[in-house]
Amino acid sequence: MYNRYIPPAKEKQAPTHSQTTPASSSKPLSTAQPYARYIPGQAPAPPAPAQPQKIVFDDANLPPVDHSKSTREIDEELTGSATQKKAKKSKSKQSEDVADDGVDQEAKESRSRKRKREDVDQTAILEDKVVENEDATPASGPDGDNAAAAHANPENDVKQERKPKREKRKKKKQEDYPDAEMADADDDDMHRKHRSVFEKVQRSLKIKERIVEDSTKKEEGEEEAEPAVEHGLEPLPQPEPVTFDESKLAYETLPPWLASPVRVAPDVTRPFVELGISPESSKILESKGFKDAFAVQTAVLPLLLPSPDRQGDVVVAAPTGSGKTLSYVLPMVHDISKDRATRLRALIVLPTRDLVQQVQLACEACTTAFAISGGKKVKVGTAMGNRVFKEEQSIIVGEEQRYDPQGYQQYLQKQNRLVSLEDSDDEDDGLDLERTEPLPYHVVAHESKVDILICTPGRLVEHITKTPGFSLDYVRWLIVDEADKLLAQDFQQWLDTVTEKLSVEKPGARDFPSSNKSGVRKVILSATMTRDLSLLNGLKLSRPRLVVVEGTKAGEQNLPPLLRESAIKIREPSLKPLYLVDLLRSKHMVSVNQEDAVDEVSVGSETSDSEASSASSSSASDSESDSDSDSDSDASSSASSSSSSSSTSSSDDDEAEEDDDDKSRSRNRPFPTAKKTTFPTTVLIFTKSNEAALRLSRLLVLLAPDLAPLIGTLTSSTKTSRRTRTLRAFAQNKLRILVASDLVSRGIDLVNLEHVINYDLPISETSYVHRVGRTARAGRRGCAWTLVEHAEARRFWRDFAGEGKGAVTTIGRSAPIERIRIGDGETEFSEERVQEYERALERLRAEAVGGGGGEGRK
Ligand SMILES: Nc1ncnc2c1ncn2[C@@H]1O[C@H](COP(=O)(O)OP(=O)(O)OP(=O)(O)O)[C@@H](O)[C@H]1O
């Protein structure tokens, strides 16, 4: 609905000739168009220069006139007395011809009207000429030559006596019609006809002016008579210039569920019992370290636990380490524990294998909590491509021989079809051979062996397409964790494949046991939740609600409240590893959570030794793939059933080989290690790539041999089992320093991690949030350190810190980033240390040439 536009009151002006054009009277010449569409960024069109209007008395261009006057009246007014005389003449002629029949009469009248109109047209043409010549000398009127000729006639002398009278008349006329001055210049010689024509022209001009004036007044009167107050309408305001604040704009354009989230304060906690978890289950949860529900859990649990209220999907945007995992695992396990039969009821999709394993632990902690008071022990399985595919199939889907002669016949027909398809080399139609041959007159029946499947997207698609009996018909929970990453990289169109399967309706299959609801509940989570609706739309959410931990808005990325951030200026980039060593040895590397303070860590233990040597290796086994993909999903998704089986089995062999390599390398360790060392805290160092992580950890071993046994490496090219061992050793405080690529930047929960060091700058704000979010989790303190080279300073302070002129960052933090200095001054490192560093680089180079990866001095 548009408001009616009421233009501002115009200043009344006596119309001039140029204003009396129909166009100028019907439309204001103003450039402001009442309903003109405003296009941001496009300046309003400049006012068009007023074009000189040529006056043409064309009916089509006439302004809206007073329709109360008939055409005839106007004609009469326009044609003036001469026309009236003609009309009289015609009338008298009509009376003479009164005996003529009616048809003649009609025809005459019509001819008469036609003549009148022609008169008007003639008048208009003449008037046009007059206007054109108006500014010319009055003597050169249209009949100037004739007048001169008339002046030369001797007969005119007779009339000389009438001259004073005429001059009087002339004066009067000049007053009345100054423009007609020329026409009266030589009255005696002026032909009557010409004079009458001029008079007509003058009169018609005046009449026309009057008509136009009247109609203009009328229009203005109408507009003014349409009072804004009476109709409650106000002039349409002119659009304000739009400022393009992207975040604001996005919120304004978000649908209501995204624009008005359920907000919860970050420090809110509540006992689980108050949220609908039974006292028995709460007790077990408490025994596992979950005493009270965290803020995000207090908001999400009531939405997901069975209730008579609305049941819709839930999108969660909460900081790293805020406890999002438990917020969906608890209600999901609670719901599934009410089922009797084991069927695949829930899918949890995660981007990496490490996260799959981590969430599996969380699920298992909860299954015991609900396997009491009549609830069944929910079965949890994983599919992430770390095993032979067939083995994984047998863990997820069970088989059983059942007597069924008819079914057996169908099985045989299917086999024949498959054989003929193979012979004809036709495209695979999606049918696959059974895992197990049925006995004669039997069929192999399948049943799910798990209630919850935690998986990477690629492996999930593989099971959907290749595992007989793997069905999503009973799935009623779909969890997508780290959703922004999974949605942005739609591995093998996993989402389309899954949503298509989930749209299949089998009566009663998706009924919730504790409520009268049915369907699939979707829970979508991330610390850096996307606000890209085109991505979210792919999830086909139903009546979604957004839960946001206060202080964050959808799309904003808040850091944990107890995180302290610092930046270290790198003056000499070629010596950056020395800055890192100094930081590790500095007073800043202390335990920030007192309860975590550990005493001396002794080296030489088997685990530490092996892990240290693995860290120091830049072997081919560790760097078999240099792709810095931190997602296992691509690796698993690309493998076919058979190839993945062989690759998985060979990977196990590889791991055995790796261990042998480790031992031999351990024996040939180039630098001596200290017998005892102390390192008071835990550190995770992020580099830009797998290769960089491997090089750096080796360099650290060479530059700080006393720390060597405490250093571990995590890259996406590291075998999953090795990664698991490394993470376990870190959790046990046997390893204290991890050098990693972005593989572990998402989701990984290293409970005792206190310091994160960004050795290389992260590629994005989102990446920064996930990296530093590995510490200060679950209400604990943590520190983040970023090494900033001169060339990176502008980007870091503007994009990550949000400082400086015009800086805008999406990262929300409780305190600004501190500036920390490492070293004593301009010459921060002694010549001796620089030489030591160069020797280490040489060593690294030699090792690289000898088969490992290496690095030259930066
Ligand atoms: N109610 C609770 N009481 C105590 N500890 C909890 C509770 N809920 C979660 N935790 C712990 O908090 C830590 C972080 O939880 P979680 O991994 O779920 O965080 P997150 O929000 O998923 O983080 P990220 O976004 O980094 O994945 C975990 O160690 C978890 O065990």
CATH code (residue 306): 3.40.50.300
Q: Which of the pair, 629 or 380, is modelled with greater confidence?
A: 380
Q: Does the residue 469 lie in any domain? A: yes
Q: Does the residue 841 lie in any domain? A: yes
Would you give the DSSP letter of residue 539? T
Whether the complex's predicted ipTM is more than 0.85 is answered with yes
Distance 771 CA to ligand 1 centre (A): 16
Q: Does the residue 602 lie in any domain? A: no
Could you tell me where the beta strands, DSSP code E, fall in 764-815? 782-789, 811-812
Distance 417 CA to ligand 1 centre (A): 51
Distance 572 CA to ligand 1 centre (A): 39
SS3 category, 371 = coil
Q: Ligand 1: which atom is nearest the Cα of residue 318?
A: 21
How, if at all, do strands 270-271 and 292-293 pair? antiparallel
Residue 300 to residues 276, 314, 452, 812, Cα–Cα distance (Å):
12, 8, 20, 22
Domain end among 504, 535, 553: 553
Check pLDDT > 60 for residue 57. Answer: no
User: Whole domain around residue 463: which residue ranges?
Assistant: 256-410+440-553
Question: What does the block give as tokens for 810?
Answer: 């999406």
Give the count of domains, the chain.
Answer: 2
Residue 780 to residues 256, 563, 583, 816, Cα–Cα distance (Å):
34, 8, 22, 19
250: CB partners within 8 A, 6+ apart: 531, 555
Nearest protein Cα to ligand 1, atom 31: 323
C-alpha dihedral (280, 281, 287, 292), degrees to nearest 10: -110
- Work out the average pLDDT over 507-515: 88
Q: Which of the pair, 777 or 110, is modelled with greater confidence?
A: 777
* Whether residue 462 is found in the same domain as residue 581: no
Q: Which of the pair, 32 or 452, is modelled with greater confidence?
A: 452
Q: Does the residue 340 lie in any domain? A: yes
Question: What are the tens digits of pLDDT across the range 743-798?
Answer: 889 999 999 999 999 999 999 999 999 999 999 999 999 999 999 999 999 999 99
Q: Does the residue 723 lie in any domain? A: yes
Chain-wide mean pLDDT for the chain?
73
Q: What pLDDT, on a 0 to 100 scale, did the predictor assign at position 646?
A: 33
Domain end among 524, 553, 582: 553
Question: Which of 508-512, 594-598, 630-634 is predicted most confidently?
Answer: 508-512
* Whether residue 454 is found in the same domain as residue 316: yes
* Whether residue 371 is found in the same domain as residue 403: yes
Residue 810 has φ and ψ, to the nearest 5°, of: -90, -5
| pLDDT tier at 550, thresholds 50, 70, 90 | confident
* Whether residue 281 is found in the same domain as residue 327: yes
Q: Is 354 in the pocket of ligand 1 (CB under 6 A)?
A: no
* Whether residue 260 is found in the same domain as residue 395: yes
Question: What are the tens digits of pLDDT across the range 410-424?
Answer: 888 888 887 777 665
Question: What are the tens digits of pLDDT across the range 275-331?
Answer: 999 999 999 999 999 999 999 999 999 999 988 776 899 999 999 999 999 999 999
In the numeric block, the tokens 């075998």 are attached to 719
**b or e along 374-412 (b: 16 or more beta carbons within 10 Å of the residue's beta carbon)?**
ebbebbbbbbbbbbbbeebbbebbebeeeebeebbeebe
Q: Does the residue 21 lie in any domain? A: no
DSSP one-letter string for 733-763: TS--EEEE-GGGGSS---TT--EEEESS--S
* Whether residue 471 is found in the same domain as residue 582: no
Check pLDDT > 50 for residue 838. Answer: yes
- Work out the average pLDDT over 802-812: 85
Q: Does the residue 389 lie in any domain? A: yes
Q: What pLDDT, on a 0 to 100 scale, did the predictor assign at position 225?
A: 45
Confirm if 116 and 84 have CB atoms less than 8 A apart: no
Instruction: Give 352: exposed, middle or buried? Use CB within 10 Å, 0-12, 13-18, 19+.
Output: buried
Q: Is 766 in the pocket of ligand 1 (CB under 6 A)?
A: no
* Whether residue 583 is found in the same domain as residue 493: no
Distance CA 764, CA 528 (A): 12
Confirm if 706 and 634 have CB atoms less than 8 A apart: no
Which has the closest alpha carbon to 710: 677, 740, 662? 677
- Work out the average pLDDT over 13-26: 38
Which of 326, 479, 746 to mutate for ligand 1's pocket (most ligand atoms within 8 Å of CB)?
326
* Whether residue 392 is found in the same domain as residue 531: yes
* Whether residue 783 is found in the same domain as residue 721: yes
* Whether residue 346 is found in the same domain as residue 390: yes
Q: Using a cut of 0.80, tell me whether the model's pTM lies above it.
A: no
Q: What pLDDT, on a 0 to 100 scale, did the predictor assign at position 488?
A: 87
Question: What are the tens digits of pLDDT across the range 180-221?
Answer: 444 444 455 556 767 777 787 788 788 877 777 766 655 554
Q: What pLDDT, on a 0 to 100 scale, did the predictor assign at position 336?
A: 95
Distance 325 CA to ligand 1 centre (A): 6
Check pLDDT > 50 for residue 855. Answer: no
Check pLDDT > 80 for residue 721. Answer: yes
Q: Is 483 in the pocket of ligand 1 (CB under 6 A)?
A: no
Q: Is 320 in the pocket of ligand 1 (CB under 6 A)?
A: yes
* Whether residue 818 is found in the same domain as residue 730: yes
Could you tell me where the beta strands, DSSP code E, fall in 638-767? 676-677, 683-686, 711-714, 737-740, 755-758
Question: What are the tens digits of pLDDT across the range 688-718?
Answer: 999 999 999 999 999 999 999 999 999 988 8
Confirm if 596 and 814 have CB atoms less than 8 A apart: no
* Whether residue 300 is found in the same domain as residue 447: yes
Q: Does the residue 696 lie in any domain? A: yes
Check pLDDT > 80 for residue 29. Answer: no
Which of 324, 525, 526, 630 to mutate for ligand 1's pocket (most ligand atoms within 8 Å of CB)?
324
Q: Is 294 in the pocket of ligand 1 (CB under 6 A)?
A: yes
Q: Is 323 in the pocket of ligand 1 (CB under 6 A)?
A: yes
Domain end among 534, 553, 572: 553
